[in-house]
Amino acid sequence: MNDSHSGPRTDSTLRWGGLAGIAGSILMVFTFGFVAVFVGMDITPAESLTRFADIRAARAVENTLYLAILLLWVLHSLALHQALRRTSPTPALFGTALSILGLVLLAAGAVPHVATASLFDLYQAADATPQDQATLVLVWHGIEAVFYALLYTGLVIVPLALMALGVAMLGTPHYGRRIGKVTIALGMAGLAVAVGVLAGVPELAAVGVLILLGFHL
């Protein structure tokens, strides 16, 4: 009896999960545009502190949107597991676990403004000495480094998830070999980008995010 209804239930879960993934990707495109208009795509680490008063509200909106995007992508990952677990249980399980782990790491670094806002208030305080401000700048950069570490770690793990999910898709009627191969290729491209980021080219992190955006569409 349970098996007779598993198909419709799986289709419904996959449909809602797919909508969550698409919504997250569309929201990511909107967020890129929002940042370009209200923050600027070429803002430097130093300006992120000196201009914080001007971009504080925009950063809060940006980071909140980013967190919402990641939550939607987690829902998509769970739906994929539901669709893939019957035909390819092992790669589906491994892929979903890695995907959620990677997205959780990205989510952990999604709201840096919460940690840096109080530092900016201290930096702008009337009684802050130049020495105090210099120390706060160092602390600011240290906090940013922690958030970047979470981002880069997530971008290393998620491509491994894509490759595992792609393998699971190869034998699943919902997807088939073409989509499975494309997903594996996206995972390999994401892993190459992650290696580049770890090798000292942090600008490639944006490419890794775009790969995630493409996968969840």
Q: What is the DSSP letter of 44?
A: -
Q: Indicate the pTM of the whole model.
A: 0.89
Is residue 12 within 8 Å of 83, Cβ to Cβ? no
Higher pLDDT, 115 or 152: 152
Identify each DSSP E strand in the chain by its residue range. Answer: none
What is the rounded average pLDDT of the residues 26-45? 91
Query: What is the C-alpha to C-alpha distance for residues 215 and 108, in angstroms, rounded to an integer?
Result: 21
CA distances from 30 to 26, 27, 36, 76, 112 (A): 6, 5, 10, 19, 20
Residue 9: Cβ within 10 Å count: 11
* R_g of the chain, CA atoms, integer Å: 20
pLDDT (average), residues 109-134: 90
Q: What number is the average pLDDT over the span 182-191? A: 97
- To 10 degrees, what angle do helices 2-38 and 52-84 make? 160
26, 81 Cβ separation under 8 angstroms: no
Does residue 2 have a pLDDT over 50?
no
Q: Round to whole Å and give the CA distance between 117 and 65.
A: 18
Q: What is the pLDDT of residues 34-43, one digit of tens each?
A: 999 999 888 8
